[in-house]
Amino acid sequence: MSEARIDANRIRAIDPQSPAEVELVASRMRQTLVEVLGEEVGGNMYTMDWLIQRVLWHLDPNQCVGQVFLSEDSEGHITGHTKVLDKDMPRSMNAAVRFIV
């Protein structure tokens, strides 16, 4: 399954070869941490490089049974993402995270 369409919107897998998409998801992961934990804790918990590597980890079948999906609006702007992991991954890594604009 590569994408699903509802009206003019779609959901598709992230392009792991797109630095812009990977960095966008990583920055939104940081935004989520800031929203939940506050700027001081959430903004300083992980470096941006670590967050980028974490996104890429989800996409590496040698390390993770997972995927990152993006939602796009009718103009192709990324409006959200979700990370999914196999239920048998270690519990500390098994969290579905969503970011919706």
Q: Which domains does the chain carry?
A: 3-100 (3.40.630.30)
Q: Would you state the pLDDT for residue 91?
A: 54
Q: Would you state the pLDDT for residue 39?
A: 93
Identify the residue whose tokens are 């369409």. Answer: 5
Identify the residue whose tokens are 């699903």. Answer: 4
Task: From first to last of the 101 residues of the chain, give the pLDDT tens digit.
Answer: 555 555 668 999 999 999 999 999 999 999 988 999 999 999 999 999 999 999 999 899 998 888 999 999 989 999 998 888 776 666 555 455 555 55
Query: 98: helix, coil or strand?
Result: strand
Q: Which helix (H) or strand (E) holds 85?
A: strand 78-85
The residues facing 85 across adjacent strands are: 66
